Structure formats: structure tokens, C-alpha cells
Amino acid sequence: MKFDIITIFPEIFDSYFSESIIKRAQGAGFVDINIINLRDYTTDSHKTVDDTPYGGGAGMVMKVEPIYRAVGSIISNFLRRGGPISNEFSNSNSKISKPDNVCIILFSAKGKRYTQQDAVRLSKYENIIMICGRYEGVDERVIE
């Protein structure tokens, strides 16, 4: 099982994944964990990942464009490894086909509690992409 974690704070995960049972699982080849710095998918010199909400409002939200590029890159790599394609999801001008055995999870304070049933359901996926939200959340277009 492969986990891709998209974050703006990749260093936070180093200690968690280099110790204990997670380290042993990686060493045995049961899981592959890839930490992705969202700032690597920005196009400006300041590596900006946040902006004011698209529809207006207070606070800052994570921009859709870097998230979309990061997810697109992960899925492209998955397909190069031979994964099947289905379920299209789109951004304003382009589409990415999400394979059936890839799950995308967006962490949010508004999300639901993780349960044992979720663990069983998620265990069926070959690749899980986790998007770590920050600030006031993410641009609503990411959720759509």
C-alpha cells in the first residue's frame, strides 16, 4: 500500500515515520510513504500556497492550483506503474482520471471521525493520497 501525503510542513512527519511500527512496516515493504511538499507545485517565486477565498470571505485558504498539480503528479506516477483508470474529476480547464484503487482524503476540522470501518474500507486501496489542509481550509474547488 502506498501513501502520498501532501503538506506544507513535510518536516513534521520525519520523526513519526522513522520510528516504531511504521518504520518496521516500511522496512518490510508493507507500506510506502511519500511526503510531498505542496510548495514544490507552486509557480511563483514565493512558493505561495494560500490566498483569500475565491468567493470572498475572511481568512486564507489553500489554493486549488498547487493541490491539483500535486494530485495530478501522483496519479500520473501511479498510472506509469500500471494502475487502471476511471472516475474523472476536473479543475476549470483540465481533467485527471482518478483510478479506482486510489483514494483521495482531504483532512479537515469539519471532517468525520476515523473508525475501524474506515480502516477496513481504505485497506482495499492500492494508493491513498492524503491532503493536509491548513489555515481556514482549502479552496472549495478542491472539494468539488
Q: Which three cell numbers stand for residue 55?
A: 468567493
pLDDT of residue 89: 42
- Per-residue pLDDT of 75-91, as tens digits, reads 888 877 765 544 444 44
Please give the DSSP secondary-structure letter assigned to residue 21: H
The percent of residues in the chain predicted with pLDDT above 90, rounded, is: 45
Q: CB under 8 Å to 29, separation ≥6 — which residues? A: none
The total number of structural domains that make up the chain: 1
Question: Can you give the pTM of this predicted structure?
Answer: 0.81
Q: Which domain holds residue 95?
A: 2-143
- Per-residue pLDDT of 6-64, as tens digits, reads 999 999 998 888 888 999 999 999 999 999 999 999 999 999 888 887 777 777 878 88
Query: 110, 115, 113, 108: which is closest to 130 by C-alpha?
Result: 108
| CA 56 – CA 38 distance, rounded (Å) | 23
Query: 56, 39, 49, 73: which is closest to 138 by C-alpha?
Result: 49
SS3 state of residue 89: strand
Domain containing 103 — which CATH number? 3.40.1280.10
